[in-house]
Amino acid sequence: MPRYRRALLSLLLAVPLVLGAPAVAHADSPVAMTSGFYVDPGSSPASWVAANPSDGRAAAIKDDIANKPMARWFGSWSGTIGTATGAFVGSADAVDKLPVLVAYNIPNRDICGGHSGGGAGSPSAYNTWIAAFADGIGARPALVILEPDALGDTSCMTQAQIAERNALLNNAITQFNQKAPNTWVYLDAGNPAWLSADTMARHLNDAGASRAHGFSLNVSNYHTTGVNTAYGDSINTRLKAAYGYTKPYTIDTSRNGNGSNGQWCNPAGRKIGTPSRLGGGAEMLLWVKTPGESDGNCGVGSGSVAGQFLPEVAYRMIYGY
């Protein structure tokens, strides 16, 4: 049987039916085309461990974080984007594993929060960038989390800005559907503390969720899996009632082991959660945010910049203190 039709038994386990999630991984899905989630040897914790092997924290960070499957984020720092996504997906493909990528480059990114501000300089620049992102993946299997914050971060935006963002997200989904046929795209839907399920369902639909594989929850946040499952199911209830469809969803469990204390920016006392797996209350649980990478110059990450790896934060997150 060709490798792209081989499915490891552990990846074909039934997924709970959560308002639109498929009962099993279909034979032509990116999950069934691979033998497990990809462990990124170039992640920031893996790179830190390699550079600091004698550090007393290195063994724990290696075993409990660096050796776990997690997403790689792509933005303006990634260089030629098609080359970058192609290389990452190609490395995963070479070992028959499923990579998770995050597209994080929408114009006016994190416009309200500001800690992760930036993004493409114009709508046309973003359209070019996202088309190349998808083209780099090509026909190889992958999962893509599309633009964390983009739908939740609208409180300080004008209606014209929101309409522009929706057009960009709709086009992004079109690009993946056309250029990356074996990629499942999850349009990010924020977290349970951000917007009501009714509002988020409307935002998802306006941004093209009906043509995406699903939506993602809790990216870079701390809410428990149970709280996210209730929120995801409520979103699907509203999608069904208002628009006639539901979608499977993922939950970022990378830092939700102790739940949320109400803070979102480097709060103390958080803990890593369930490693990436199918099921678990959603279609799959994923480590999207890398444990130990800063949310910005705030909380226990004071003095850092968003995305900077902080080994002491990572170490404490392993043990939850």
Q: Which of 40, 64, 93, 149 is catalytic?
A: 149
Catalytic (active site) residue 149: yes
Helix axes 159-179, 123-137, angle to 10 degrees: 20
Residues 6 or more apart whose CB falls under 8 angstroms from that of 25 comprise 7, 11, 12, 15, 31, 32, 278
CA distances from 79 to 75, 84, 155, 241 (A): 8, 7, 31, 43
Helices (H), the chain: 44-51, 58-61, 81-94, 123-137, 159-179, 197-206, 225-243, 311-319
Give me the amino acid identity at 74: F
Q: What is the enclosing helix (H) or strand (E) of 28?
A: none
Q: Which of 163, 176, 252, 253 is nearest to 215 (CA)?
A: 252
Task: Return the SS3 of 254.
Answer: coil
Query: Which residues does the annotation mark as catalytic?
Result: 149
